[in-house]
């Protein structure tokens, strides 16, 4: 299909290396001996535990429920016994632990009673679908891990006319979305139509990078019956999968800085999320497995694995034949934006798209060199920042100017750092600056609050003194008003100092 | 089991293009024009070229040592070789050896390392050296020769070449004016451009490089080929060369149309002097030119206009080096005013207007 696309700024063309896994059908991971299901696998509040140690649960049973308005529940990926609810290292660069339900599968793989399938999702109350998706624990599977149901509400607050399904999958190596689109195109398109209906969107645009022609073909065939659904091949240009970028490329609408895409009438969902929504609605199935790409030069047999949530990274690596050589980097996600994994013991969560074991030679890593001001980072930045200038400002700790020049707009895509011939860790500079700026803002906010409290306190003391004076003056002539004010200011300062010291 | 480098973070993959690779590509692009000109100007040019690069590399090594920086890793980035190469290309081909050696002192310790080394200098080191030499030794720096191809009759052999470069024994009979210099001198004697112009080498000779000029600037065809190669390899973009050559040609054509006796034509300005070498290899120096594409276009146009102004109104016949240095000083300001528009914001940096909630 020839279709007009809108130009997007910047971007880079890393070595994609998707062929290591793209031509292999997804294989299910044999059930591991133990599953580790963290309570926080999404943006928002961690889920609340519903089970106790020793309890037997069945496949698909909710074991932790939503807590607060932005949250998602967790379900048992198979039947078995709860062995522990403990602090386990999370799949995060910090290596910190978080509360995790430990489930020992019993091998029966016995399903719980699932909610009734919704036979005609286009006839029921949209609120019903929203509730179903919320109960199924579906979160954004492209990496944002935002609870999918929360986004379904956007249609009530904004006028949404277009749903963009994100099948760009611009990260090198990762092919789990590609395989999902090729193997389950009907489910992706059906899920998209259900989401669009809830949002009130009349048009669906499925954006897929042109380096996935089979996926485009499969989806086009699946969408042929539905006039409102367009499947669009977009240029293979990282970071095309960044939602704002894909929306601009496919609809020509540019989301204002700091705003939701809903502001321009568009909501984006990842293609695997659309499939998960479809399964929740049509089958009543919660999100208990996901496809994970296990790849990289140090993996013996790279594969796409359909893996129960909570399987450990080591289980996946073992299923893929282990390492051929000790990897230089073990990455959770793609090589451009992924997080370093602390070890092989951490579990796969709902947002884990890839597990990469990279050798030193495939990273092209070299020692850092001085900036030669070549300006390729400026051309590469999809946001229109000037990384070379920002890095220089941050290096001399002029964070204020860096903030004015937009360091807060950085999306951390790593295009600048990828392209830099001197291999300056630009993203780290920007993350550092944004972290510091955030701390400063918190501190300023706190100071302002302390000041306001101190002033309020001073006013109260003054008021009380004035009242006392007024009461006294009823009996005898007034004393000097200067003394109590000085005292109250002193108290105010002390209060502020104590608060600050305590922070 | 703990894996991976401590503190490592994304991206875990990088472009294969390094600083060294970039420098190597630029040197490769310069090679054809340089080799042709070395052939054209013979042994004295080869000796001067060698001395200049060796001096720059030596000066770089000493500067790095004095600054307590790792000598070999920095030296191997190729930037000193490139500076020396470009400086040599901008010298008169039969100039004495000390012009190259002294030029290296201007270029490397003064123009580059005094500012903080690679990437920190405000001015193009090779052009600082050329201009410093030109204003200090105007006679030596404008002693041009007509081509004396290697092994051709009348071409100096190695011994004679050695005497020219290291002995200062410049034969009187071979000097010639550059086209720009000739036209300027004639004009100052009251002879209009229209009359002097037919006496300079014809367009074919100017394009091929069979003319008097600096050591590496004469072969437009080979310089253009090198420039296009750099564009194809995405080392440079069209913005600076097109801006500079376009502005130079436009200014010259405009004024030539108004008064052909006073102003030389656009084609003459494009084909003479260092217009091509400057546009593709000197003004495009990463360190001293703006970082954004729009800034680079403005920079190129500025170099083009200033080159024409200096050639036409100033005391010197050639103006590329001066124009580049003047625009170098404007680079920080151009950078400030040519930042790209940020995603979702207007040019002033404010968020785009919202459509609003339902």
- Determine contact, residues B175/B242, Cβ cutoff 8 Å: no
- What is the distance between the alpha carbons of residues A342 and A97, in angstroms, rounded to a whole number? 11
Q: Is B24 on the interface with A (CB under 8 A)?
A: no
Q: Which residue has the higher pLDDT, B170 or B93?
A: B93
Find chain B residues with C-beta within 8 A of A386's C-beta: 291-292, 335, 339-340
Nearest chain A Cα to B8, which residue? Answer: A340
> Which residues of A176-264 form beta strands (DSSP E)?
203-209, 229-234
- For an interface test with A, give the residue of B343, B348, B351, B355 to mutate (most A CBs within 10 A): B343
- What is the distance between the alpha carbons of residues A76 and A56, in angstroms, rounded to a whole number? 10
What confidence tens digit (pLDDT) does each residue in A279-307 have?
999 999 999 999 999 999 999 999 999 99
How is residue A206 written in tokens?
A: 């499925």
Strand partners, B2: A343
Listed in sequence order, the residues at least 6 apart from A448 whose beta carbon sits closer than 8 Å to its beta carbon are: none
Nearest chain B Cα to A372, which residue? Answer: B119
Architecture of the domain made up of A18-106+117-290: 3-Layer(aba) Sandwich (3.40)
At residue A486, the pLDDT reads 46
Computed over every residue of chain B, the mean pLDDT equals: 91
Q: Please list the ranges in chain A whose pLDDT falls under 70.
A: 1-3, 475-503
Beta-strand pair A80-89/A56-57: antiparallel
At residue B154, the pLDDT reads 79
B19-332 has which fold?
A: Ammonium transporter fold (1.10.3430)
Which pLDDT band, with edges at 50, 70 and 90, does B206 fall under? Answer: confident
Picking from A264, A335, A373, the nearest residue to B11 by CB comes out as A335
At residue A68, the pLDDT reads 87
Question: Å from A385 to nearest chain B CA?
Answer: 6
- What is the distance between the alpha carbons of residues B128 and A305, in angstroms, rounded to a whole number? 61
B358/A329 Cβ within 8 A: no
pTM (predicted TM-score): 0.89
At residue B1, the pLDDT reads 39
A365/B11 Cβ within 8 A: no
Listed in sequence order, the residues at least 6 apart from A439 whose beta carbon sits closer than 8 Å to its beta carbon are: none
At residue A500, the pLDDT reads 41
At residue A492, the pLDDT reads 46
Indicate the class that CATH gives domain A291-363: alpha beta
- What is the distance between the alpha carbons of residues A292 and A315, in angstroms, rounded to a whole number? 12
- What is the distance between the alpha carbons of residues B277 and A499, in angstroms, rounded to a whole number? 66
Picking from A341, A375, A383, the nearest residue to B342 by CB comes out as A383
Q: Where are the domains of chain A?
A: 18-106+117-290, 291-363, 366-471+482-503
Q: List, as ranges, residues 261-320 from B with C-beta within 8 Å of A.
A: 286-293, 296
Closest to A370 measured CA to CA, from A420, A419, A413: A420
- What is the distance between the alpha carbons of residues B262 and A341, in angstroms, rounded to a whole number? 72
Report how many helices (DSSP H) and strands (DSSP E) chain B contains, helices first: 15, 2
At residue B7, the pLDDT reads 54
At residue B187, the pLDDT reads 87
Cα separation of the two ends of chain B:
52
Q: Is B356 on the interface with A (CB under 8 A)?
A: yes
Angle subtended by helix axes A185-199 and A176-183, to nearest 10: 100
**Phi, psi dihedrals of residue A162, rounded to the nearest 5°:** -130, 135
A247-253 long-range Cβ contacts below 8 angstroms, 24+ apart: A247/A164, A248/A6, A248/A8, A249/A5, A249/A6, A249/A7, A249/A8, A249/A207, A250/A5, A250/A6, A250/A164, A250/A205, A250/A207, A251/A6, A251/A162, A251/A164, A251/A205, A252/A6
Picking from B3, B12, B19, the nearest residue to A422 by CB comes out as B19
**Phi, psi dihedrals of residue A107, rounded to the nearest 5°:** 85, -15
- Determine contact, residues A412/A355, Cβ cutoff 8 Å: no
At residue A194, the pLDDT reads 97
DSSP state letters, A466-484: HHHHHHHHHHS----SHHH
A14/B15 Cβ within 8 A: yes
Q: Is B3 on the interface with A (CB under 8 A)?
A: yes
Listed in sequence order, the residues at least 6 apart from B63 whose beta carbon sits closer than 8 Å to its beta carbon are: B108, B109, B112, B113, B117
ipTM here: 0.90
* DSSP 8-class letter at A322: -
Which pLDDT band, with edges at 50, 70 and 90, does B171 fall under? Answer: confident
* DSSP 8-class letter at A86: E
B344/A363 Cβ within 8 A: no
Please provide the size of chain A in residues.
Answer: 503
């Amino acid at each position: 299909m020839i279709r007009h696309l809108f130009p997007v700024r910047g971007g880079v063309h890393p070595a994609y290396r998707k062929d290591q896994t793209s031509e292999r059908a997804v294989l299910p991971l044999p059930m591991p001996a133990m599953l580790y299901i963290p309570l926080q696998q999404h943006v928002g509040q961690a889920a609340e535990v519903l089970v106790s140690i020793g309890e037997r649960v069945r496949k698909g049973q909710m074991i932790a429920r939503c807590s607060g308005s932005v949250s998602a529940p967790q379900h048992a990926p198979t039947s078995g016994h709860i062995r522990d609810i403990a602090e386990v290292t999370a799949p995060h660069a910090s290596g910190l632990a978080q509360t995790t339900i430990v489930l020992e599968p019993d091998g029966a793989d016995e399903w719980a009673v699932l909610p009734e399938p919704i036979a005609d999702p286009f006839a029921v109350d949209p609120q019903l679908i929203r509730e179903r998706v919320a109960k199924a624990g579906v979160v954004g599977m492209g990496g944002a891990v935002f609870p999918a149901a929360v986004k379904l509400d956007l249609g009530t607050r904004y006028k949404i006319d277009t749903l963009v399904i994100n099948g760009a999958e611009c990260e090198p190596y990762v092919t789990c979305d590609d395989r999902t689109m090729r193997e389950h195109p009907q489910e992706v398109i059906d899920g998209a139509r259900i989401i669009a209906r809830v949002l009130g969107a009349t048009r669906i645009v499925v954006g897929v990078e042109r380096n996935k022609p089979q996926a485009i073909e499969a989806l086009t065939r699946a969408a042929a019956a539905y006039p409102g659904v367009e499947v669009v091949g977009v240029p293979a240009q990282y970071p095309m999968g960044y939602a704002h970028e894909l929306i601009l490329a496919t609809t020509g609408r540019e989301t204002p800085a700091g705003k939701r895409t809903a502001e321009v009438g568009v909501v984006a969902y990842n293609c695997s999320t659309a499939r998960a929504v479809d399964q929740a609605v049509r089958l009543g199935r919660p999100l208990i497995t996901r496809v994970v790409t296990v790849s990289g030069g140090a993996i013996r047999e790279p594969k796409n694995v359909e893996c129960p949530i909570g399987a450990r990274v080591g289980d996946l690596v073992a299923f893929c034949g282990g390492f051929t050589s000790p990897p230089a980097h073990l990455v959770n996600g793609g090589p451009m934006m992924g997080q370093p994994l602390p070890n092989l013991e951490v579990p796969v969560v709902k947002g884990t798209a890839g597990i990469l074991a990279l050798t030193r030679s495939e990273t092209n890593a070299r020692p850092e060199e001085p900036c030669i001001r070549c300006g390729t980072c400026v051309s590469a930045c999809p946001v229109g920042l000037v990384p070379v200038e920002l890095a220089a400002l941050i290096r001399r700790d002029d964070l204020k100017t860096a903030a004015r020049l937009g360091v807060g707009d950085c999306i951390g895509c790593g295009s600048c750092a990828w392209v830099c011939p001197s291999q300056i860790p630009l993203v780290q500079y920007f993350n550092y600056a944004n972290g510091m700026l955030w701390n400063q803002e918190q501190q300023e906010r706190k100071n302002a609050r302390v000041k306001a409290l101190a002033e309020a306190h001073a006013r109260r003391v003054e008021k009380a003194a004035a009242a006392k004076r007024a009461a006294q003056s009823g009996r005898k002539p007034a004393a000097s008003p200067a003394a109590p004010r000085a005292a109250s200011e002193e108290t105010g300062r002390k209060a502020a100092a104590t608060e600050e010291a305590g922070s | 089991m703990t894996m991976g480098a401590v503190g490592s973070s994304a991206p875990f993959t990088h472009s294969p293009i390094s600083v060294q690779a970039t420098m190597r590509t630029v040197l490769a692009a310069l090679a054809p024009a340089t080799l042709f000109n070395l052939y054209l100007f013979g042994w004295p040019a080869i000796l001067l070229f060698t001395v200049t690069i060796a001096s720059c590399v030596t000066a770089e090594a000493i500067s790095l040592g004095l600054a307590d920086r790792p000598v070999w890793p920095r030296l191997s980035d190729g930037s000193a070789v490139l500076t020396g190469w470009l400086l040599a290309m901008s010298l008169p081909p039969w100039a004495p050896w000390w012009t190259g050696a002294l030029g290296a002192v201007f270029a490397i310790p003064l123009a580059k390392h005094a500012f903080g080394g690679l990437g920190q200098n405000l001015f193009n080191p090779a052009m600082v050296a050329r201009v410093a030499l030109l204003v200090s030794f105007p006679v030596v720096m404008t002693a041009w020769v007509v081509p004396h191809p290697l092994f051709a009759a009348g071409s100096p052999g190695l011994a004679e070449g050695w005497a020219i470069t290291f002995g200062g024994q410049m034969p009187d009979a071979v000097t010639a004016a550059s086209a720009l210099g000739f036209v300027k001198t004639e004009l100052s004697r009251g002879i209009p451009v229209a009359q002097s112009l037919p006496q300079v080498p014809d367009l074919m000779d100017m394009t091929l490089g069979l003319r008097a000029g600096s050591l590496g600037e004469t072969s437009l065809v080979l310089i253009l080929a090198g420039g296009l190669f750099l564009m194809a390899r995405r080392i440079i973009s069209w913005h600076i060369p097109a801006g500079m050559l376009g502005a130079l040609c436009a200014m010259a054509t405009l004024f030539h149309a108004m008064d052909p006796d006073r102003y030389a034509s656009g084609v003459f300005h494009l084909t003479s002097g260092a217009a091509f070498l400057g546009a593709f290899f000197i003004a495009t120096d990463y360190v001293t030119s703006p970082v954004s594409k729009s800034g680079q276009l403005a920079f190129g146009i500025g170099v083009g206009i200033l080159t024409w102004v200096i050639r036409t109104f100033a005391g010197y016949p050639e103006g590329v080096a001066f124009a580049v240095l003047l625009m170098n000083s404007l680079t920080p300001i151009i950078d400030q005013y040519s930042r790209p528009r940020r995603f979702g914001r207007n040019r002033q940096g404010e968020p785009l207007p919202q459509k609003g909630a339902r």
